[in-house]
Amino acid sequence: MRVPLLDLTRQHALVKGDIASRVARLFETQQFILGAAVEDFEAAFRDFVGCGHAVGMSSGTDAQLAILMAMQIGPGDAVLTTPYTFFATAGCIHRMWAEPVFVDVEKDSLNLDPDRLLEFLETRCTRGPDGAVLTPRGNRLRAIIPIHLFGTCCRMDEILAIAKRFDLPVIEDAAQAVGAEFRGKDGVKKAGAIGDSAYFSFFPTKNLGGAGDGGIAVCRDEELAARLRLMRNHGMEQRYFHREVGGNFRLDALQAAVIHAKLSHLPEWNAGRRRNAAHYREAFSKRGLGEFVTPPVAPDDGLENSHIYHQYVIRARDRDALMAHLQAGGIGCAIYYPVPLHLQDCFSCLDYKSGDFPVAEAASRESLALPIFPELRGEEIEAVADAIASFYKP
Ligand SMILES: Cc1ncc(COP(=O)(O)O)c(C=O)c1O
């Protein structure tokens, strides 16, 4: 049996009526740039996440860029993140002429390791005369970006406590975690409502995906939200009067209409992904695959959405050979991510070397994403597990 890594056509059947009528209404208004469709979606998304403000952007990348621009991060600054994420997280920092600083991830979640974070800040950074935290390269640390990778939140209580101690704002990279929940000392919150600000991606393959690129920036502070609106529209409040230099980071009204139509389905889709993850776990243990394959772990916090499985990433022995075997058998799978960011050619200027972040480097050698999309059928999951078992022959 062939099993695709992702098949969006199955989902489309469920939402195409609603999408068609929202898009038809939009065409009646001909208001394709910002306007009511974007504002309505922003309000619905803000309510869904439970955050103060939401500003629709042209992609997750642009949402992050707009946040960094709104915070006036630039040359001589640094932003801390992990080397195990999609390129954009560090790429945007670099594009602002700031230094991306990496700290390793935790072995199980592959999220920013708060212990390593504290160690880095305490032992590798110094304080400037004005109290600023300076990186080993002498740049001024301006923010921390933890990534809720693959759909589960970082250990945010620890990260927020460290950030507070060093007076650093926290920008959540929630691109892969729309609808994920976190139980912290202040109660249960959704990804994006935990730190000072956050960004999401609506890339079509995301749990909430558009019909093209899209993203959104969210934040607690009204002043930052106003600056985000300014940044996404060339720094102009009044047309053709530019207070600052921004960009064209506007969320398309058409995308807003499509994503809005899908938003109410997200909880059931995330539940479908969780169901599939539970099925995989059972299928692996039934076949005695425990010693070869380590499934992803969700925090044991009693929350339904503690993992929303944007990707279902296993750690696999002899990963590359397993991947070749699965692909030869028509099973879709992919590596997220084959080269950690500190070893990417474009960041050779940062002088990191192999061995600097052993957990991230091991993850890039062992990780393999399997099909997990909500509409995946039980027999397809069994077929994936059979194909894995036929490789290891336990
Ligand atoms: C962790 C992470 N950060 C940032 C982004 C950037 O989002 P986009 O592709 O919408 O620009 C993505 C999406 O691909 C992502 O997975």
- pLDDT band for position 394 (50/70/90)? confident
According to DSSP, residue 169 is labeled -
Q: Is the CB of 294 under 6 A from ligand 1?
A: no
Cβ contacts of 165 within 8 Å, gap of 6 or more: none
- Rounded distance from Cα 93 to ligand 1 centre (Å): 14
**According to the model, what pLDDT value does residue 14 have?**
92
- Read off the pLDDT of residues 275-295 as tens digits, 9 standing for 90 and up: 999 999 999 999 999 999 999
Q: What is the pLDDT of residue 226?
A: 97
Ligand 1 mutation target, pool 201, 202, 310, 336, most atoms within 8 A of CB: 201
Mean pLDDT of 100-115: 98
CB 61 within 8 A of CB 203: no
Q: Determine the Cα–Cα distance for residues 357 and 382; give it in Å rounded to an integer.
A: 35
Q: Kindly state if the Cβ of 159 falls inside 6 Å of ligand 1.
A: no
CB 2 within 8 A of CB 330: yes
Residue that is written with structure tokens 């504290």 in the block: 118
The architecture of the domain spanning 266-392 is Alpha-Beta Complex (3.90)
Nearest of 370, 387, 378, 389 to residue 6 by alpha carbon:
370
- For residue 376, pLDDT over 90 is answered with yes
pTM exceeds cut of 0.85? yes
- pLDDT tier at 393, thresholds 50, 70, 90: very high
Q: Where are the beta strands (DSSP E) in 272-343?
A: 293-294, 312-316
Instruction: Name the residue of 87, 172, 176 to mutate for ligand 1: max ligand atoms within 8 A of Cβ.
Output: 176
Closest atom of ligand 1 to 64 CA is: 4
In the chain, where the domains are located? 11-263, 266-392
Which stretch of DSSP H or E encloses residue 100? strand 99-102
Q: Give the Cα separation of 264 and 262 in Å (integer).
A: 6
Among protein residues, the one whose CA lies closest to atom 12 of ligand 1: 175
Task: Give 7-42 pLDDT, tens digit per residue.
Answer: 999 999 999 999 999 999 999 999 999 999 999 999
Selection from 81, 37, 74, 34 nearest residue 57 by Cα: 34
User: Tens of pLDDT along 232-261?
Assistant: 999 999 999 999 999 999 999 999 999 999
Q: Is the CB of 85 under 6 A from ligand 1?
A: yes
Could you identify the atom of ligand 1 that is nearest to the CA of residue 61? Answer: 11
**Chain mean pLDDT for the chain:** 97
User: Which CATH number, 3.30.565.10, 2.60.40.3620, 3.40.640.10, 3.40.50.10800, labels domain 11-263?
Assistant: 3.40.640.10
Looking at residue 51, its pLDDT comes to: 95
